[in-house]
């Protein structure tokens, strides 16, 4: 069982300490890219078997303890990992990218997840209503 002690500083900030665990924080950053794809494994006649495109949105969540700077991770450090991945996908045919030969939203989310150290969760939006998420 975790025994957390919470107290307020004179400025109203909450201090949290634990005698058994380190407090884990989460941070997130959202990115966008545009790309075309087709889903070769859906049945003939399925609209997604045809070449089409999306304005994708990718949300990355990283978890960890605060470092000496007060960060889980600096957002610029996340950018250093994610931006080169986005460059591989932006304005491309996703089916031509290694690992995305069948680029469903689920597979795209997993592709990002496996390439971002310390990542807890990735959510890929094909549009405002449809998304897939991978994480633990």
CA distance 129 to 133: 13
Please report the pLDDT score of residue 22 as a whole number: 72
Residue 63 backbone phi and psi in degrees, to 5 = -120, 145
In a domain, 90, yes or no: yes
CA distance 27 to 119: 10
Residue 17 pLDDT grade (very low, low, confident, very high; cuts 50, 70, 90): low
Known catalytic membership, residue 52: no
Which of 26-30, 65-69, 111-115 shows the lowest mean pLDDT across its residues? 65-69
In a domain, 50, yes or no: yes
CATH number at residue 104: 3.30.479.10
In a domain, 6, yes or no: no
Neighbouring C-beta atoms of residue 82, cutoff 10 Å: 20
Q: Annotated catalytic residue: which of 52, 80, 91, 130?
A: 91
- Reported as type and span, the H/E element at residue 3 is none
Higher model confidence: residue 54 or residue 4? 54
In a domain, 10, yes or no: no
pLDDT tens column, 70-123: 999 999 999 999 999 999 999 999 999 999 999 999 999 999 999 999 899 999
In a domain, 4, yes or no: no
In a domain, 99, yes or no: yes
- Taking residues 15-36, report their average pLDDT: 80
In a domain, 107, yes or no: yes
- Total domain count, the chain: 1
Known catalytic membership, residue 4: no
Percent of residues, the chain, with pLDDT higher than 70 = 85
Query: Whose CA is closest to 118, among 57, 59, 64?
Result: 64
Confidence (pTM):
0.83
Q: Are 124 and 60 in contact (CB under 8 A)?
A: no
Residue 67's domain comprises 23-135
Query: Whose CA is closest to 56, among 9, 103, 120?
Result: 103
Known catalytic membership, residue 126: yes
In a domain, 68, yes or no: yes
């Amino acid at each position: 069982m975790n025994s957390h002690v919470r107290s307020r500083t004179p400025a109203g900030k909450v201090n949290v300490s634990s005698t058994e665990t380190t407090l884990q924080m989460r941070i997130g950053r959202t990115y966008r890219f545009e790309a075309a794809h087709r889903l070769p494994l859906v049945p003939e006649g399925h609209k997604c078997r045809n070449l089409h495109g999306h304005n994708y949105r990718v949300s990355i969540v990283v978890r960890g303890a605060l470092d000496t700077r007060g960060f889980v991770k600096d957002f610029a450090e996340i950018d250093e990992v994610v931006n080169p991945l986005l460059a591989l996908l932006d304005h491309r045919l996703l089916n031509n990218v290694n690992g995305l030969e069948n680029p469903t939203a689920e597979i795209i989310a997993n592709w990002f997840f496996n390439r971002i150290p310390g990542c807890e969760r990735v959510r890929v939006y094909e549009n405002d209503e449809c998304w897939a998420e991978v994480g633990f």
